[in-house]
Amino acid sequence: MRNQVQLVAYADRLGGSLPGLARLLDGPLAGLFGGVHVLPFYLPYDGADAGFDPIDHLAVDPRLGGWEDVRRLAASRDVVADLIVNHVSDRSVQFRDVVEHGEQSPYAGMFLTYDRVFPHGATEADLVRIVRPRPGLPFTPAVLGGRRRLAWTTFTSHQIDLDVHHPVARRYLSAVLRQLADCGIAMVRLDAVGYAVKTAGSACFMTPETVEFIVDIAAEARRLGLEVLAEVHAPHRYTVQAAGRVDRVYDFVLAPLILHAVFTGDSRPLRDWLTRRPGNSVTVLDTHDGIGMIDAGPGPDTADGGLLTATQLDSLVATISRNSGGTSRASTVRGGGGGVYQVSCTAYDAVGRDDRRYLLARLLQLFTPGIPQIYYVGLLAGDNEPGLAGRTGDAREINRRSYTEAEVGEALRRPVVRALTRLIRLRTTHPAFGGEFTLLDTPAGELTMVWRAGRARARLRTSLADASYRLAFTADGAEQTITGARLIELT
């Protein structure tokens, strides 16, 4: 995996198709990104959960292209693709066969039902302990072979959870891994992997059995030449736990800590995390799901001390709401102590469309050790689109607008976007970022981050209270310095 910035995008919403996305990466975005995470392109890409509910995990939606388009995209850059380990669509061939034939279906053991996890029934305590990133319990009534059952549905009622330990389900996941490897995919993202194993009497999230599954599926992927990225949204100790089992883990903690620092001028929580976070991280400031909050806050266990207190998180969510004109949407998690799970908002609206603070937040992300991923709406400094959420009922759609190629070109001419692309290009190409990272000792209202590799240097000095910063880096044997005030002027 290249030590370069990656783009994260839906092919249908940025370029309109896989070939369209490739044209943008080879054209106006050339030289910015060493890789791209193409969000689910399987059939269909526009189901109940924006592609995360595949009917056929082994087919590219023909409206986007085909497997040859995936191969072409992967030929000249690192491509990250999703292995959706937790569930498939209720419209899949396999589940429809179970609906028709029940236990006589060859796929019957592939899917989880309430009684498979709780064969002797569950107590109220068992049920309220279950963690789910949605309100309510994770069960949906279904008639399977003429018998009324409770299908396990962690996410929407149209996403039927797999029994990942059943041979049929495992063969299904293995076939997807082989297909991705055959197409030259560099890294597979284990989507929602923390929920993949359900164990009676537990939270059914990141249990010891889940960790065993992560180790096992990661080993299989590596045998095929795939690197593995785990997606785990939870208090930060789970991130640290997963990091030792996979090649990469998301640093979802970083976004709320950066925003807290930019809003309050207090760098202490961010500094604390920078000294002990996993080194094999993928850094994000925004994602297709929004801005995660649960990762930085306190959890239900005494071991889950938060990097931000519940009061600080509440203040952060309120600030984002004010900055976005009240258009952001916060969601909560059911079970595990509850609390704010994530905020649906673009990164640009989260900082009140303040160009200086937005670029400071991005610089802090780009200077943090790890592989930076930039979400396509964030790249183009997009605004919230509340109307999208209103039409679908999914608050996350606020941050999922579609761009035509012409609209991309128009956005790239905006000063804030031009400045951001300059910073991304610096992070992707400058040799200092392949060297040693140092966090200097500074007062709480400041943060200085330095990268060194031989004679190559890159240094970011920030004053958080007034969102000012000085960026210095070596170029052609001399040092160049750009201040926050000058960055936009120079673009």
Closest Cα to residue 57, out of 139, 176, 164? 176
> Phi, psi (5° rounding) for residue 60?
-80, 135
CA pair distance 129, 138, nearest whole angstrom: 12
Closest Cα to residue 173, out of 159, 201, 156, 193? 193
> Does the bond joining 44 to the residue before it have cis omega, within 30 degrees of 0?
yes
CA pair distance 326, 156, nearest whole angstrom: 26
201: CB partners within 8 A, 6+ apart = 126, 129
Question: Which residues are designated catalytic?
Answer: 191, 231
C-alpha distances in angstroms, 41 versus 156, 200, 232? 19, 34, 21
Closest Cα to residue 396, out of 16, 79, 134? 134
CA pair distance 55, 390, nearest whole angstrom: 25
Closest Cα to residue 294, out of 335, 253, 239? 253
Closest Cα to residue 72, out of 34, 10, 26, 16? 26
Say if residues 176 and 57 touch (Cβ distance below 8 Å). Answer: yes
Say if residues 434 and 450 touch (Cβ distance below 8 Å). Answer: no
Angle at 319 between CA 314 and CA 324, to 5 degrees: 130
Closest Cα to residue 286, out of 204, 404, 439, 398? 398
Residue 448, classified by CB atoms within 10 Å of its CB into exposed (0-12), middle (13-18) or buried (19+), is: middle
Residue 490, classified by CB atoms within 10 Å of its CB into exposed (0-12), middle (13-18) or buried (19+), is: exposed
The count of residues in the chain is: 491
177: CB partners within 8 A, 6+ apart = 83, 188, 220, 221, 224, 226
CA pair distance 185, 350, nearest whole angstrom: 33
